[in-house]
Amino acid sequence: MASSTKENTTSQRILSYLKECPEGANIIEISKRIGIGRNQVARHLANLSQVGRLDLITDGNNKIYRLAHRIPFHIFSTYPKGGAIGFNRSLLVQEVSENALRILGCSESELIDTWIEDLPHPLFHELNLDSMAREVLDGRISTHHTVTGQIGTNFFEVSLYPCIFDDLTNGVAIVLSDLSDTEKIIKTEQRVSDRFDDLMEETEEFIVDLDANDRIARVNRALACYFDTVPANLIGLLGLPSIPPEDLVIVKQTARSDPTSSDSPSTPVEVRVVMPDGKVRYQKWRAYPEERNGILWSLHCIGSDITEKKLQEERIRLYESGFATIIDERTSDLRGIIQKLKARIDDLQRIEQQQYLTESRYLRLTETISEIIWETGEDHQFTYVSPRVQDSIRETPDNLIGKHFFDLIDDTVGQARTLDFISLLISGKPIDRMVTPIRSSDGSTQWFEISGVPNIGPDGSFHGYCGIANDITRKVLEDELKTEILSIIESTAHIVAITREDGFFTYLNKAGKKFFGLSKLSDISQVCFFSFIPRADYQDYLAKRAEAAEAGYWMGDSIIISCDGTLVPVSQTIQCHRHEISKKPYFSTIIRDISDRLAFEQELATAYEYSRMLTEVNPDLIATFSVEGKILDVNAAVERVTGFTRQKLIGKEYFQFFSDSEKVKDAHMKVLSQGSAVEYTTDIVHKTGRITQVIGRCVAFRDQFGNLKGVFATARIIQPDSDQKTGGDLHMEQKEKHRKPPPGEKHADD
């Protein structure tokens, strides 16, 4: 029940926002406005479009959604004003009312699937109704449109309405009314007026009609409920409720100064309202003046509450102002840091200059001190190494001359330190006591604390390094894990642990202690990691550790138990290590919770299945082709028309399935060269030789980099084969399919 309520709330929020945005909005704008993710918004927009609540307008790659003003066609079947004829998007008759049959003097079977220009009534030709119907279908006319015409002594009124059929497809309804009968017109207008009153009561917006003296003549229930009263208590009040007179003057002036306000909404006016309980709210009003002989006769006002929108805008303004303040503060701090760095660089340059001047004295000193003295040229090759190096790495100075530091560094251990040291060497920056692993001639690893400064010539050119190195192997083996790596591991959000071969912890970071429910004072050496492995996965986990011991590491997904007993899917890396001295194995592991990732992957799979189902149930032919004309994908409708399965169609040139393949090739090349949609009519040949006439439309599609990737094509059957059912039979089956069964009776499809 909670999920259903949330779904309804999301749809209502989308509809409420689009009511305030009559020009429409795209998915990104709607998602930001209502604060919901794009995928969820897209799913709701697709559902609302499918049931006819929204219209989708494509502007290039931009998809604009706006509220649909479509009337269910079945309402016209009892419409007393005249006869209604429903046309689908191909302007073929899909449904027709009894009154229309009487006016046209035809049977239903004669009209169904008849093109609009072939209807037996001169009004359809004289008034060019096919052009106006196409404008309604394409959204250029979003509300109903009415024209009049005369045939002999009879006058007719023709109204076009955007409509939706019972099968949830969109179309246009054309209503023919004979205006010769005045009494019928009066009754019709009365019913229309009653229907308008009903709609006014159902809408969530505020509707108020003011007379010439600014007194309320009519008000809907939405505004009355807003003030916790009934409409009758507001009738006769002066002005709009709780709105200051000066704001009402602005609303009236804005409405009367807009030359288009009689046919389209005037510029909305935002007003501040003080409610009876003292609370301050904000409203937005637009007005439609009704004038007679240049005199304001009445004012029709439509409003809505925008308090939440104003509060949101204020929050954004305060956030932006606070953000600017933080940027100013951080910029000031950076200036101070830069000044200190510049001063430090100046000091180093002075030191380097002094060092260059005392080079001869430095060379004599290298023979007497206990540290290893080294020097490199501009190509980082050793030009001098003091004899002390032989005591540490069993290499004579002569063997080292001409070699690089890179030849001596043991990159199998201390990789982070090694990279830092190499980066400094390459950059030519001073080296300050960098701890670096050096490989000895006997294969062992020795750790050195290396310092050095670049030799800069008078012209500022780099001539190499000179420095000293101290053997600190014993100290590194004792302190490295406790000093440099510990702070990094403790701050990570992932679980990092070190265990013995028997699974008991020797180290567990903060994230791991929190996940397994251990306090800071807990003795982790008494806790076994194996106890957090599900019993069913225990043997599999031991196999993973064995693989890590053999290959050096194992990486993959697994499941562990959290402190509250929850099974948590994780991405885990297990790496096997050996102690430098004892060579005993121990294991390190990095664990990351991947619950969100798995949920997202499931959501992507569901979205793909949903998109594929929408394509498959579409009665139109849908296909995609490569630039060369090879079939990439088709829906079930294409399989039925060609007689081949989807697997056999993919990879074939689609031109061969048309009777006029050259015409289709020309259209294909035109789409690729122009990049715009191309529409054409042609015949598809079934594998049995049966011909199906279709009207097709193709458009080129590109990837995110603008590269041409292929052609997207749709087609609709416009002339069914002789062995297919007639339009009337299809219509009757469709109506029977959507008929609601009586209570207790199961549908035939069930």
Largest CA distance in the chain: 127
- Per-residue pLDDT tens over the stretch 158-178: 888 888 887 777 888 888 877
Percent of the chain with pLDDT over 70: 83
> Mean of the pLDDT values across residues 340-355?
80
- Per-residue pLDDT tens over the stretch 298-309: 888 888 888 888
* Sign of the CA dihedral running 537, 538, 541, 542: negative
Checking if the pLDDT of 726 tops 60, the result is no
pLDDT of 686 reads 92
Q: Residue 35 is encoded by which pair of tokens?
A: 């604060």
For the chain, the residue count is 750
pLDDT of 734 reads 45
Q: For residues 550 and 545, what is the distance between their CA atoms, to the nearest angstrom?
A: 9
pLDDT of 518 reads 86
422 membership: H or E segment, kind and range: helix 415-427
What DSSP letter does each residue of 363-397 carry, written as one string?
HHHTTTSSSEEEEE-TTSBEEEE-TTHHHHHS--H
Rounded to 5°, angle at Cα 413 from 507 and 426: 125
- Output 561-568 pairs: Cβ under 8 A, ≥24 positions apart: 561/532, 561/533, 561/534, 562/515, 562/516, 562/517, 562/532, 563/515, 563/516, 563/517, 563/518, 564/517, 567/534, 568/593, 568/595
CA distances from 704 to 38, 674, 701, 708 (A): 18, 18, 10, 10
Question: Which is nearest to 297 in space by CA: 364, 172, 218, 211?
Answer: 211
pLDDT of 484 reads 64
pLDDT of 549 reads 86
Least trusted range by pLDDT, from 62-71, 515-524, 590-599, 624-633:
62-71
**CA neighbours within 13 Å on the CB side: how many for 149?**
17
- Overall pTM surpassing 0.85 (yes/no): no
pLDDT of 644 reads 92
CA distances from 283 to 219, 257, 266, 288, 401 (A): 16, 21, 15, 17, 84
685 membership: H or E segment, kind and range: strand 678-685
What's the mean per-residue pLDDT of the chain? Answer: 79
